[in-house]
Structure 1
């Protein structure tokens, strides 16, 4: 009887064979068509686009949310706040966005600018809770992201809120902080 001697298999070749077989068989997930997954991405401007944009802040289920809208040119804080007061568009409402800024503020809210700052006179009293924290954040962040003289980043623009429809000597000075929340300026 003759004995045949078979060579021992190469472990590297065996491992490669297993990997190739796994790659050929796939992961078991079949092909699908397009899947509807919500609103398209927003907030990032396309490079080289000549049109302007404005960033407005609305209230979402988890706090203030920015919305970028196309405009013909950069908007001053007053123009941006006027758009904010008009409320979210239908598409924005379908994404769950609302506003906490009282509709009674329209036409009576004014914004003026100076170098690196915006003075916003509101017809309501913040200190009495007539304008809640979310509404204040909406106003502050929308104003700070508008075209403010001084070319400061939005988080360094001082937004001074004057309440009760009167420009006061002691306004609330705030900045647009992380996540679209208004934060007090101290010192």
Structure 2
């Protein structure tokens, strides 16, 4: 019996030395500041469907992947249209924007094999946007977030379109997420 008492005392001493102070009353703890993802749904009018959709938006000249809950898994074309629609009001309230308006006039996408082919119309000359790298990066980041897409090709009038990559070079080849990795914020 004496042996059990020694074990209990040793265990109590060990637990007392854990470094967690005890308090007699409860106190409120503020959550830490930072870009932490909450698993709790926000109190917004955002739909909270059973499927997820990742859209790549922009904040401070960085591409930010944002996960939305949607009613059903979107087709690639629906996914592109949701991206082109831009951030929701709640997303704008957190500083998210889009570089697409006026920079890239994407008309639609189809998926062949594991490649999304995005039809791009001539830009509106009055738009005057110069952040095409972010805009094309948003599309590549968004479409390659899908399980059925690994590369994205841009076409104008059915022919490959040279688009800027993060390093400033132009490419007519299908692009991958890594082509824009320096601009994509870690999750």
Give the structure-2-normalised TM-score.
Answer: 0.61
Summarize the Cα distance change of 1:61–1:115 in structure 2 as closer, same or farther, 3 Å threshold. Answer: same
Match of 1:41 among 16, 37, 43: 37
Q: Distance in 1 between matches of 2:133 and 2:71?
A: 31
Aligned length: 154
Task: Say if 1:141 and 1:176, in contact at 8 Å, map to a contact too.
Answer: yes
Deviation at 1:160, TM superposition (A): 0.3
Q: Distance in 1 between matches of 2:84 and 2:29?
A: 40
Say which one has the larger Rg. 1
Counterpart of 2:138?
A: 138
Counterpart of 2:175?
A: 174
> Residue 65 of structure 1: SS of its match in structure 2?
strand
Counterpart of 1:54?
A: 53
Summarize the Cα distance change of 1:88–1:181 in structure 2 as closer, same or farther, 3 Å threshold. Answer: farther
Runs of 4+ in 1 over 2 A off after TM superposition: 20-26, 30-40, 103-106, 169-172, 177-182
Unaligned runs of 5+ in 2: 1-12, 40-48, 124-128, 162-171
Unaligned runs of 5+ in 1: 1-16, 44-49, 183-187
Give the structure-1-normalised TM-score.
Answer: 0.61
Q: Distance in 1 between matches of 2:21 and 2:141?
A: 52
